[in-house]
Homo-oligomer: A and B are copies of this chain.
Amino acid sequence: MEQVFTELISHPYVSGMVSGIMETGTTMVGSAVMEASDMAETAELASVFTANNIWMMLATALVFIMHLGFASVEAGFTQSKNTVNILYKNTLTIAIGLLTYALIGFSLMYPGEFNGWLGWSGIGLSLPANGLTADYAGGAYTYWTDFLFQGMFAATAATIVSGAVAERIKISGYLLFTLFYVGLIYPIAGSWKWGGGALDSMGFYDFAGSTLVHSVGGWAALAGIWILGPRLGKYDNGKVKDFAGSSVPLATIGVFLLWLGWFGFNGGSVLSADPGATSLVLVTTSLAAASGALGGMIGGKIIFKRLDFGMVLNGILAGLVGITAGADQMGPGAAVIIGIISGMLVVFSAVTLDRFKLDDPVGAVSVHLTCGIFGTLAVGIFGKMASLAQVWIQFKGVLIYGLISFLSAFIIFKIIDLAFGLRVSPEHEKSGMDSHEHGIRGYTIVYDE
């Protein structure tokens, strides 16, 4: 027993946690029971803290891989002449997103006490005094984990935009937009709810971001495709032309990686490793994705009279976006219903957008905006929080986030458009972005000898 004890104490992060216990170890027997209870609790706290932190780091890794998921879906669904361009944009999105979030985003989104609309806790990340953050008081895991998990989320909003504006936006314009939207708008809007701001006080509920992430991205995507206009030839002679994506396997890889990543996106949004809550969330998330696939299949069969695989894939994403706002508030039955509705919604939304000549090459607006709105409202319709009052609160939240997101994105895109031009030239668009901006092709499969 003695050796075990020594070994334990020498362990650097346990020792810090339990040092208080040792000091109290000499107190008198009279208070023995309470002391011992305290010790058990303190030790338990250290274990729970470590477990929470492992789960949140795993969730962070899973949300990170969503960026590969988005890159793959978008490159798979767009034309081979623009493949490098899409990948370039999405790769830089996560890079820029993390760096701006470290510099100002995290501080804007979680400012501590603030007026509810705009707060600020200082520039950059600050190494806590003890250097290790193990006794970080503000949460159930470390400051570093907190930053990185939230930072991985932040870049998602811009990545959603990337797919919608693909095949015609100037890369400089897109990157400039990302800088402002991810650096400023996303964290400020996020602070209103997750930072404990005005919409949080209002009772608005958005568990993992149907609105705060997906709609915020979706509204910006809508603003972008409105300003840019459709790709050349998309709506000629009253017909909607399909441009074949470069690789269906690549898009499939992307969707599966997004589903996988959503285990971290939703599972990590529990903000602890609480066994009941995390595992319930994984179940509702997976059932919504699975039923979203069926919804997309049914919707595709009704509208396009074929086994439309694109709609099955987008149906999965639609189900995932739809469940995100209330994944912790539903049982499995509600999750399945939300998934099927979302999967069908995404088909009807895509057709409707085409009717308005709003050209979205990968269906990002239909997945993230349409189903983001539906999922947010669904919190008031299904599950533990269902009530007419909650639907009304959710609706107000949708509206407020819609206003800030669409307007700010519209203004940023418009300014860039006026200042530098947002759209590439028609020749450039026809021959593809890759040859002009990057000088290489996405695929070079030759066997000439």
Contact = CB atoms under 8 A, between A and B. Distances in A.
Contacts of A252: 68, 71, 75, 87, 91
A30 B29 contact: yes
A194 to B, nearest CB: 18
B142 A275 contact: yes
A290 interface: yes
Interface string A261-282: 0010001000011111111101
A303 interface: no
Interface residues of A, number: 150
A257 interface: yes
Contacts of A35: 33, 36
Interface in A165-181: 171
Per DSSP, chain A at the interface is: helix
A405 interface: no
A131 B329 CA distance: 10
Contacts of A148: 279, 282-283, 286
A449 B430 contact: yes
A171 B307 contact: yes
Most chain B CB atoms below 10 A, which of A36, A148, A306: A36
Nearest to A38: B1
A188 interface: no
Nearest to A243: B444
Given A20-B1, A98-B286, A439-B308, A279 B244 contact: no
A215 to B, nearest CB: 25
Given A249-B247, A439-B306, A312 B65 contact: no
B279 A142 contact: yes
A240 to B, nearest CB: 14
Most chain B CB atoms below 10 A, which of A4, A45, A51, A137: A51
Contacts of A142: 275-276, 279-280
Interface string A133-154: 1100100111111011001000
A57 B4 contact: no
Interface stretch (A9-17, A352-360, A416-424): A9-17
Given A61-B263, A440-B248, A44 B306 contact: no
Contact of A68 (B257, B272, B445): B257
Contact of A44 (B8, B257, B279, B289): B8
- Sorted nearest first, the 9 A-B pairs with minimum C-beta distance are A132-B276, A36-B36, A144-B279, A68-B256, A244-B444, A43-B44, A95-B293, A53-B275, A47-B47
